[in-house]
């Protein structure tokens, strides 16, 4: 029987919430065991992954999970659950790795969230949203504003992982461009055929749905 991931967004939100409840229940020792500690990334490389599922407080997890809940399904619908999970995890891990050279300690899903948004900027640049819940603008403009805010935050630190945000978004943008290139390959392949067979359609939906 073939295993297929049908959705990744809901399990990710659930996992983040469950782990946050464990943080509250088990205390600081649990968080310290799995958070990103820059001096430990080569002796305990798994913390690059586990730190993505930890959060520093209620506001932290609410903001990240709200973004995942709003934007996650849109991206997942365009690229499929497997590719969504790939860009989410890849962005988070690479963002954590680069963060370790600038921050002694770090935790949170922000790098992964920004990777998701970066991919969405490429695939759905004109998606409308309300910046700060007030100002209407397309997603690509909001992305520029977020990036500028993070650049400003690097020079005027406030305890936010601005570098993780920028790296995560960068990975998402690169992956989004890759997906657009793959889509053009599929479009050319199918346009050369007069009739599409069922195997062609299934292959497109399985590996090139964007």
Domain ranges of the chain: 9-179
The beta strand positions in the chain, using DSSP E, are 36-37, 105-106, 128-131, 135-138
> Does the model's pTM come out above 0.75?
yes
The percentage of the chain sitting over the pLDDT mark of 70, rounded to a whole number, equals 82
> Which superfamily is assigned to 9-179 in CATH?
Rhomboid-like (1.20.1540.10)
Cα R_g (the chain), whole angstroms: 18
26 in Cβ contact with 74 (< 8 Å) = no
Q: Between these two residues, 6 and 85, which has the higher pLDDT value?
A: 85
Position 172 confidence tier, pLDDT thresholds 50, 70, 90: very high
Q: Between these two residues, 63 and 190, which has the higher pLDDT value?
A: 63
Q: Is 188 helix (H, G, I), strand (E, B) or coil?
A: helix
């Amino acid at each position: 029987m073939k295993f297929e991931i049908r959705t990744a967004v809901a399990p990710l939100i659930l996992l983040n919430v469950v782990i946050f409840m464990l943080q509250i229940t088990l205390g600081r020792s649990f968080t310290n065991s799995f958070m990103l500690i820059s001096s430990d990334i080569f002796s305990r490389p798994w913390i690059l992954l586990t730190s993505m599922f930890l959060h520093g407080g209620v506001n932290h997890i609410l903001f990240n999970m709200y973004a995942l809940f709003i934007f996650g399904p849109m991206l997942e619908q365009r690229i499929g659950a497997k590719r969504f999970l790939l860009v989410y995890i890849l962005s988070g891990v690479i963002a954590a790795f680069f963060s370790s050279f600038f921050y002694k300690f770090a935790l949170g899903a922000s790098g992964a969230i920004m990777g998701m948004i970066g991919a969405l900027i490429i695939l759905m640049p004109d998606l409308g949203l309300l910046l700060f819940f007030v100002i209407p603008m397309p997603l690509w403009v909001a992305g520029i504003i977020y990036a500028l805010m993070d650049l400003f935050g690097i020079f005027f630190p406030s305890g936010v992982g601005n570098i993780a945000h920028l790296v995560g978004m960068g990975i998402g943008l690169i992956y989004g461009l890759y997906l657009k290139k793959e889509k053009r390959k599929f479009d050319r392949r199918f346009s050369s055929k007069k009739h599409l067979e069922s195997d062609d359609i299934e292959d497109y939906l399985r590996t090139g749905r964007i």
